[in-house]
A and B are shown apart, each in its own frame.
Chain A
Amino acid sequence: MHSNGLFLKDVAGFLGSYYTSLAIMNAVAALILWQKKKQVGWAVVWSAVAGVMMVLASLALSGSAAWVPSLPLSVRNLVNSLSGPVNYTAGTTALFAVLFIFRKFFVQPMVAWTVLNVALLLMGLSMADENFASIVMKPDNVPIVGLVFLLAFFTWVATSQAVVNDERIARGLPPMEKLNDEKVLVWPDLVYTELICMVGVTAFLLVWAIFLQAPLEEPASSVKTPNPSKAPWYFLGLQEMLVYFDPWYAGVVLPSLVVVGLMAMPYLDFNKKGNGYYSIEERKFSYLVYQFGFFELWITLIILGTFLRGPNWNFFGPFEFWSPYKVEVLNNVDLPQMFWVNLLDRPLPRVAAGASTLTQVGTILLREAPGLVVMGAYLLLLPPLLAVTAFRSYYAKMGFIRYMVMVNLMLLMLSLPLKMILRWTLNLKYIISIPEFSLNF
């Protein structure tokens, strides 16, 4: 399904005000740069951008396919054809890596502002696509769009302070936060800030509530299953994990481990530095672990589950129509099958009906031996191995129990990306598959 005239007329008003807001945003930036910072060159640049945005706004307001600014169909089709769980994950990982490695470059205000403008422009151009808009504009999905921009903004706020602090610390100076020990009275300095925040949040909520109606679908019916059926948006990362793991692990054990791991964090992080100020260099390991878990395993999976998973939980490109008839080939194989049948060319070990319990269990263990060896090596061999190699100093500082808790939590956290990679490369379904006990891993 591609953009038709009726849809563009519907979004014209929205897009018009969207580009107008972007114009105002850039005009204000230009004014501040010119008046306060005396950076005339940049002020001219952002005034020009504001002008372009105004032109885009008037084009968008026409509501006709010939004028509304949008991505060319060929580009949209290319993006769709390149989209898939593998490219999505690899792409976001690469993006995070680039942002992290070149953080000193990206935190510069003018660079960040450029990135923001490009992102908002791409968003506007994409909104002229009917398929994209129909998913993004679902009332319950709007907060996720907000979340993405808020996370980007606050990560910029934090990283730009961390970069400054890290440079200072490298030169032997205290972080910015420690410079000013001045104390102020809570009334008025804090209570007024709080009051202004409350008024601001109230105003924001009121505007949001007036302009966007809460969703209300047909009355509940236990016989009409919607396709796709989705959990509330903040659990869609968990639902996405169901592609790679059975519900007992993806829906019960892993979420519990997330909670346990978060609670354990302050007791595992023995690094006394970086308390009370933004810093990355002083706590690189804990920083990277947290960011990996939060961004890679939580936020990107929520975005994937919300915007890119359609009927039958199939993957759809951002500009693709959610057709319920899309078929994806599923030819995933269990590890025992790979080992016994494909590698050794023998049938799977099977037990005759009516055999004793001991024989049954023995046969299952034999059948699952490859998986058990792999899992045993992963969970039992790796921790001591790491303790004498990569985590040597950690083991020395943490002691046996704290080290074991940390390393096991990390291995279980990594089980998700590892299983994803195994699925994509080897079509591996389960490493261990014991349907007799509903235990598949």
Chain B
Amino acid sequence: MAIGEIVRNSQIWKSIFRHPMPLDRRNRIVVMLTNFFLHLHPVSIKKQGIALSFTWCMGGVTFFLFLVETVTGVLLMFYYRPTLEWAYNDILALRDVTSLGILRELHRWGAHAMVITTWLHMYRVFLTGSYKPPREFNWVIGVILLLLTLLLSFTGYLLPWDQLAIWAITVGSNMARASPILGYEGPGQQLLTIGGIDMITDGSDARFGLLGARFVGEETLNRFYVLHCIAIPLATALLLAIHFWRVRKDGGISGPL
């Protein structure tokens, strides 16, 4: 008996995989139904619906990049401490001292690529009219996922704590200062006054809520770190699950039901 067959007939193998090797038509159907990861997909699909010239594979690539970011991100968290004392030095050491020093490159270029593939995925969905009924709501979820992708990239931008980082975040978050009513330099903030006391000041407005301080400092670094590593990825993962589930339930990636 060939070694492959011995392995596949062993009790261990059979206990892990609930199906025989997908070598014939029957088992290729069974594998899609009994495997946790594969059951996200249907058993069979229109040949046209998976043509690369039609799908560009951009949604799939975006999801794969999300996984790359998760794995490299977790590894980076082993090395990186989000404090004023260590943040910059840890990144420096990661580049110069640590073996596998391209971890940060993978993470950063993967992040840029993910923003781009998200846009391209949306562009494809628009051009094929795939947001039309019955997929209106999945498009809405997609827009939120786009927003979360940008926020993930934005919060991550601060973490190296170099000049590029804090000034990009300063420029970006200065906008919040001008929020109508809720920013202390925004129009209408004078309306939120109780007994002659301003409710919206530079210590209580939208920008302060974003930064945790009046300027980009240690509180901001901590806030962005938690948002970047925990809060936004969790929200993204949840919405991704719904996004994929709806693709299945709404009858594939495009076309009327």
- Pair from one complex: yes
Q: A residues bordering B, Cβ < 8 Å?
A: 140, 143, 146-147, 150-151, 154, 157-158, 161-162, 177-191, 193-194, 197-198, 201-202, 205-206, 208-210, 212-222, 224-226, 229-235, 238-239, 246-248, 250-253, 259, 262-263, 265-267, 269, 271-279, 283, 287, 290, 294, 434, 437-439
Asked if residues A217 and B164 are in contact (CB atoms below 8 Å), the reply is: yes
Chain A residues positioned under 8 Å from B92 (CB to CB): 216
Q: A189-B47, A215-B164, A226-B167 are in contact. Are A266 and B132 (CB under 8 A)?
A: yes
CB <8 Å contact, B171 and A208:
no
* Residues 169-220 of B at the A interface (beta carbon under 8 Å): 170-172, 174-180, 183, 185-190, 215-217
Closest Cβ–Cβ distance, residue B165 to chain A (whole Å) = 6
A186 contacts B116, C-beta separation under 8 Å: no
Q: How many Å lie between the Cα of A201 and that of B188 in the bound state?
A: 48
Asked if A187 contacts B31 (CB within 8 A), the reply is yes
State whether A234 touches B167 (Cβ < 8 A): no
What mask results when residues 40 to 56 of chain B are scored 1 for a CB within 8 Å of chain A, else 0? Answer: 01111111101011101
Provide the residues of chain B in CB contact with A278, threshold 8 Å. Answer: 54, 127-128
**Complexed CA–CA distance, A238 and B172 (Å):** 9
A9 to chain B, nearest CB (A): 25
A-contacting residues, B101-137, CB 8 Å:
102, 104-106, 108-110, 112-113, 115-116, 119-120, 123-124, 126-133, 135-136
Q: Inside 8 A of B157's CB, which chain A residues have their CB?
A: 232
Task: Kindly identify, within residues 216 to 249 of chain B, every residue whose CB is under 8 Å from any CB belonging to chain A.
Answer: 216-217
CA distance A194 to B61 in the complex (A): 9
| Other-chain contact of A209, B60, B102, B153 (Cβ < 8 Å) | B102
- Cross-chain contact B217 with A222 (CB below 8 angstroms): yes
Complex Cα gap A128–B69 (Å): 35
B122 smallest CB distance to A (angstroms): 8
The reply to whether B106 and A209 contact each other, CB–CB distance below 8 Å, is yes
Residues of B within 8 A of A180 (CB): 46-48
Contact B45 A189 (CB under 8 A): yes
Residue B160 at the chain A interface, CB threshold 8 Å: yes
Residues of A within 8 A of B54 (CB): 161, 177, 278
Assess the B131–A265 pair: CB atoms within 8 A. yes
25 contacts between A and B (CB under 8 A): A146-B116, A154-B123, A180-B48, A183-B46, A185-B28, A187-B28, A190-B50, A193-B52, A193-B57, A194-B57, A198-B64, A201-B61, A206-B102, A212-B105, A219-B161, A222-B215, A231-B168, A231-B171, A248-B187, A252-B176, A263-B140, A275-B128, A283-B129, A438-B186, A439-B188
Most buried by A among B48, B177, B256: B48
- CB pair A246–B254 under 8 Å, yes or no, is no
Point out the residue from A205, A274, A439 that lies within 8 Å of B109, measured CB to CB.
A205
The majority secondary structure among interface residues of chain B is helix
Among candidates A186, A252, A273, A294, residue contacting B45 with C-beta atoms closer than 8 Å: A186
Query: Are A275 and B254 touching (Cβ within 8 A)?
Result: yes
Question: Could you tell me how many residues of chain B have their Cβ less than 8 Å away from some Cβ of chain A?
Answer: 96
Question: Which chain B residue lies CB-closest to A210?
Answer: B102
Give complex CA distance A219, B140 in Å.
40
Report yes or no: B53 in contact with A275, Cβ–Cβ below 8 A: no
A246 to B188 Cα, complex, angstroms = 14
Given contact pairs A143-B116, A158-B124, A231 touches B172 in the complex (Cβ within 8 A): yes
Please tell me if the beta carbons of A221 and B163 are within 8 angstroms of each other in the complex: yes
Q: Which residues of A contact B44 (CB under 8 A)?
A: 183-186
Are B60 and A194 in touch, CB under 8 angstroms?
yes
A218 to B186, CA, bound (A): 33
Contacts A225-B167, A247-B174 given; indicate if A186 touches B131 (C-beta within 8 A): no
What separation, in Å, do the CA atoms of A171 and B165 have in the docked complex?
Answer: 56
The distance in angstroms between the C-alpha atoms of A248 and B188, with both chains bound, is 11
Tell me how far the C-beta of A142 lies from the nearest C-beta in chain B, rounded to whole angstroms.
8
* CB <8 Å contact, A183 and B160: no
A247: which B residues are within 8 A, CB to CB?
174-175, 177-178, 185
Knowing A209-B109, A220-B166, A248-B186 are in contact, say whether A276-B179 is a contact too (CB < 8 A): no
Q: Which residue of A lies closest to B108 (CB)?
A: A214
Q: List B residues at the A interface (Cβ < 8 Å).
A: 22, 25, 28-29, 31-32, 38, 41-48, 50, 52-54, 56-57, 60-61, 64-65, 68, 88, 91-92, 95, 102, 104-106, 108-110, 112-113, 115-116, 119-120, 123-124, 126-133, 135-136, 139-140, 143, 146-147, 150, 153-154, 157, 160-168, 170-172, 174-180, 183, 185-190, 215-217, 254-256
In the bound complex, how far is the Cα of B114 from the Cα of A201, in angstroms?
Answer: 11
CA distance A189 to B45 in the complex (A): 9
A437 to chain B, nearest CB (A): 5
Report yes or no: B127 in contact with A208, Cβ–Cβ below 8 A. Answer: no
Query: Which residues of chain B have C-beta atoms less than 8 A from A206's C-beta?
Result: 102, 106
Closest residue to B221 on the A side, CB-wise? A220
Assembly CA distance A209 to B106 (angstroms):
5
- When A and B form their complex, which 8 residue pairs have the shortest distance between CB atoms, in order from nearest? A276-B255, A251-B175, A209-B105, A247-B178, A266-B136, A439-B187, A143-B112, A274-B129
Distance A206 CA – B68 CA, assembled complex (angstroms): 11
Residue of B nearest to A180 (CB): B48
Give bound CA distance, A420 to B166, whole Å. Answer: 30
| Distance of A257 from chain B, by nearest CB (Å) | 12
CA distance A177 to B104 in the complex (A): 42
A209-B105, A230-B171, A234-B153 are contacts. A185–B25 as well, Cβ < 8 Å?
Answer: yes
Task: Kindly list chain B residues whose C-beta atoms are within 8 Å of the C-beta of A225.
Answer: 167
CB contact under 8 A between A177 and B48, given known A147-B116, A150-B116, A235-B154: yes
Residue of A at shortest CB range from B44? A183
Q: Are A246 and B64 in contact (CB under 8 A)?
A: no
Q: Contact: A222 with B105, CB < 8 Å?
A: no
8 Å CB contact of B187 from A151, A201, A438: A438
